[in-house]
């Protein structure tokens, strides 16, 4: 029978520890002692050859054992662990050294170390981190003990779901079961950051309700972070981890990761690979998933990966021709970048952005280096200044493109006058190059996006028209901000109502075409959603009717159109239906995935359907 003794105490106002000693027969073979009031040691645990000290500023250890925690998105995670879905925890064994060339771990007897609490919660989990050591009844060198411990329970610790739930009893049982020795005594220490956990819980609760944070919730989080002095970095780590672990987001990010793993195994990356990555990133914008997640994954998996050699696209060759002609082959005299050249370069920049063509940035870096060298040799600055002039336009292009897409595709984004002011000023500069340039390279491109929703379409029209009204002094920035904010609020209400009705339909099949059922449903939902503060007041009629109409259309697609597409993937009925119905393509793709999973159909069928565009 397993026995255990548990101690719980505070280190600081925000940090606490739980120490558990467990085994089949504890008797008197465990020891601990507390430090004096003048000592840096709060409590010391030890057994023959092992020691773990919980101090006021840090923990220190010697002997066998190690530490583990759940992988948060942002912890430096080895690629070997990232590609294995079953690996959910980070494990560090004292004295272990990894040789990447041989893909081999070897052990030493040098297991003494320490870690401050700041380092612990920065490099490990921001919430809780576990440490352990084992009392062995047999005599072995430390390095032999460590190797044996890793072999016996390393896999169990890296796969254990109990770590995420901080179920100490389950963790202890898993470890003791793996060790398979009734005479072993296990010392387990959990160090918890209460302030970070409180912030995590609050953000998780807010985010899971609507997959977004409203102004009131944002203020509450800011006050919480200020009260407990939680750093901006930890706040962002926590937010990204919550966003990643939301079931909808995790499925999308893991799909992106799987694709990167597939690409990383190939010598080159093809244009088809880029298109598939772009599709997932486009969908992610709708999910309010931070782009940092994808940039981090790209850096890990695509580092040094070259795009398959193809004929250089026209936009890249045009860029090369302009830049090389202006700078690299310059022979003195005034260098002037014409409006026509700038327009060509901006169009090329946007096309590279959309295709995620890394070679475009590589070309800029190459030219920038050459310009710098040219200026030093010739002892003149005009070449570098003109290149800087172009880079400034590219920066304006990046900012406008990013901000515009966020406004249009993210319904839970807080719209500010500063955002619109930036777009407004950049529009004037772009329109100075050509009166219709802004509309052509930004607005028209957004309108052609297949994932543009009805709400997004309304926002881009209001924004574009609003900027013209501001120019004519008929509207203010605040007026346009309010108009877009109103649409965002409608979109959030639409999403909440849609999710609520779908949830009810799963529990109680309902004929939504029945007008009396629609009215009953609306009367039931309104007080419930108002009480939960998911909607501010009664359900607007036009939004409710849009939800009903869309759900009926989705049902038609699922039972009539999709079966035809599975039989004949090149049939144009899918695109015809989406175009005429105005349904959200993202929701349709989610329905398709659910249908294929439910019917246990090959995922390749879905790719064939979605490629027929």
Q: Are residues 471 and 507 in the same domain?
A: no
pLDDT digits (tens, 9 = 90+) for 516-569: 888 888 888 888 888 877 788 888 889 889 988 988 888 888 888 888 888 887
Q: Are residues 448 and 540 in the same domain?
A: no
Q: Are residues 239 and 294 in the same domain?
A: yes
CB under 8 A, 24+ apart: contacts of 308-312:
308/268, 308/269, 308/270, 308/271, 309/268, 310/271
Residue 89 has pLDDT above 90, yes or no: yes
pLDDT digits (tens, 9 = 90+) for 123-138: 999 999 999 999 987 7
Q: Are residues 232 and 321 in the same domain?
A: no
Interval 393-401 mean pLDDT: 90
Exposure b/e, 294-318, CB count within 10 A at least 16 = b: beebbebbbeebebeeeeebebbeb
Interval 601-605 mean pLDDT: 71
Interval 416-436 mean pLDDT: 92
Give the pLDDT of residue 36: 64
Q: Are residues 233 and 280 in the same domain?
A: yes
Q: What distance in Å separates the CA atoms of residue 541 and residue 309, rounded to the nearest whole number?
A: 55
Q: Are residues 469 and 574 in the same domain?
A: no
End-to-end CA distance of the chain: 64
Residue 201 has pLDDT above 80, yes or no: yes
Last residue of a domain, one of 467, 487, 507: 487
Q: Are residues 457 and 549 in the same domain?
A: no
Domain enclosing residue 338, as ranges = 314-487
Over 88-140, what HEC string results?
CEEEEECCEEEECCCCEEEECCCCCEEEEHHHHHHHCCCCEEEEEEEECCCCC
Q: Are residues 107 and 160 in the same domain?
A: yes
Q: Are residues 47 and 177 in the same domain?
A: yes
Interval 367-391 mean pLDDT: 79
Strand partners, 90: 69
**With bands split at pLDDT 50, 70 and 90, how would you rate the model's confidence at 37?**
low
C-alpha pair distances (Å), 73 with each of 8, 250, 612: 28, 11, 35
Closest by alpha carbon to 89, among 153, 4, 6, 181?
153
Does residue 43 lie within any of the structural domains?
Answer: yes
What SS3 state is found at 186? Answer: strand
| Residue whose structure tokens are 């619109």 | 420
Q: What distance in Å separates the CA atoms of residue 44 and residue 55, rounded to the nearest whole number?
A: 8
Interval 198-215 mean pLDDT: 86
Least confident of 406-415, 475-484, 495-504, 531-540: 531-540
Residue 369 has pLDDT above 90, yes or no: no
Give the pLDDT of residue 329: 43
Q: What distance in Å separates the CA atoms of residue 593 and residue 605, rounded to the nearest whole number?
A: 10
pLDDT digits (tens, 9 = 90+) for 259-315: 888 888 887 777 667 767 776 776 776 667 777 788 778 877 776 665 554 466 788
Closest by alpha carbon to 8, among 277, 189, 272, 226?
189
Q: Are residues 54 and 155 in the same domain?
A: yes
What SS3 state is found at 442? Answer: helix
**With bands split at pLDDT 50, 70 and 90, how would you rate the model's confidence at 69?**
very high
Q: Are residues 18 and 65 in the same domain?
A: yes
Interval 417-426 mean pLDDT: 92
Q: What distance in Å separates the CA atoms of residue 481 and residue 463, rounded to the nearest whole number?
A: 9
- The domain total for the chain is 4
The alpha-helical segments, DSSP class H, found in 246-338 are 247-264, 271-286, 291-302, 314-323
Give the pLDDT of residue 252: 83
């Amino acid at each position: 029978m397993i026995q255990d003794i548990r101690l719980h105490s505070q280190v600081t106002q925000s940090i606490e520890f739980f120490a558990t000693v467990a085994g089949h027969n504890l008797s008197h073979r465990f020891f601990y002692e507390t430090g004096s009031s003048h000592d840096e040691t709060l409590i010391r645990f030890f057994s023959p050859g092992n020691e773990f000290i919980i101090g006021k500023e840090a923990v220190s250890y010697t002997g066998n054992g190690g530490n583990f925690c759940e992988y948060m998105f942002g912890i430096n995670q080895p690629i070997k662990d990232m590609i294995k879905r079953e690996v959910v925890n980070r494990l560090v064994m004292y004295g272990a050294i990894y040789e990447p060339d041989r893909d081999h771990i070897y052990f030493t007897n040098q297991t003494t170390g320490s870690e401050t609490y700041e380092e612990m919660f920065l490099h490990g989990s921001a919430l809780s981190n576990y440490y352990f050591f084992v009392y062995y009844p047999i005599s072995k060198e430390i390095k032999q003990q460590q190797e044996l411990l890793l072999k016996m329970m390393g896999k169990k610790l890296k796969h254990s779901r109990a770590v995420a739930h901080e179920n100490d009893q389950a963790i202890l049982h898993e470890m003791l079961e793996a060790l398979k020795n009734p005479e072993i005594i296990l010392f387990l220490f959990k160090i918890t950051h209460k302030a970070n956990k409180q912030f995590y819980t609050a953000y998780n609760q807010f985010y899971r309700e609507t997959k977004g944070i409203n102004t009131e919730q944002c203020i509450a989080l800011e006050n919480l972070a200020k009260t407990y002095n939680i750093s901006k970095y930890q706040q962002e780590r926590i937010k990204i981890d919550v966003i990643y672990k939301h079931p909808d987001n995790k499925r999308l990010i893991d799909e992106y990761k799987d694709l990167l793993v597939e690409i990383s195994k190939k010598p080159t990356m093809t244009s088809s690979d880029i298109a598939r990555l772009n599709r997932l990133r486009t969908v992610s914008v709708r999910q309010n998933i931070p782009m940092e997640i994808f940039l981090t994954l790209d850096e890990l998996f695509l580092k040094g990966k070259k795009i398959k050699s193809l004929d250089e696209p026209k936009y890249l060759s045009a860029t090369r021709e302009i830049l090389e002609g202006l700078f690299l082959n310059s022979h003195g005299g005034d260098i002037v970048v014409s409006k026509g050249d700038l327009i060509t370069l901006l169009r090329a920049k946007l096309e590279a952005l959309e295709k995620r063509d890394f070679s475009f940035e590589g070309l800029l870096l190459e030219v920038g280096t050459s310009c710098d060298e040219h200026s030093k040799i010739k002892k003149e600055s005009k070449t570098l200044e003109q290149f800087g002039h172009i880079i400034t336009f590219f920066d304006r292009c990046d900012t406008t493109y990013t901000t515009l897409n966020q406004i249009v595709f993210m319904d839970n984004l807080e719209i500010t006058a500063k955002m619109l002011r930036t777009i407004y000023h950049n529009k004037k500069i772009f329109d100075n190059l050509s009166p219709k340039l802004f509309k052509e390279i930004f607005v028209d491109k957004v309108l052609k996006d297949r994932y543009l929703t009805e709400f997004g379409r309304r926002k881009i029209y209001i924004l574009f028209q609003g900027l013209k009204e501001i120019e004519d002094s008929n509207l203010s920035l605040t007026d346009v901000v309010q108009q877009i904010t109103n649409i965002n609020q409608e979109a959030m209400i639409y999403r909440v109502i849609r999710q609520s009705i779908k949830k009810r339909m799963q529990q109680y099949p309902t004929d939504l075409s029945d007008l009396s059922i629609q009215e009953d449903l609306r009367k039931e939902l309104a007080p419930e959603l108002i009480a939960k503060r998911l909607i501010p007041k009664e359900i607007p009629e036009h939004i409710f009717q849009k939800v009903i109409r869309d759900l009926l259309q989705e049902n038609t697609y699922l039972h009539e159109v999709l079966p035809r597409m599975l039989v004949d993937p090149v049939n144009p009925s899918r695109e015809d239906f989406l175009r005429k119905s105005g349904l959200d393509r993202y929701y349709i793709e989610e329905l398709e995935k659910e249908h294929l999973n439910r019917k246990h159909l090959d995922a390749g069928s879905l790719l064939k359907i979605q490629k027929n565009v």
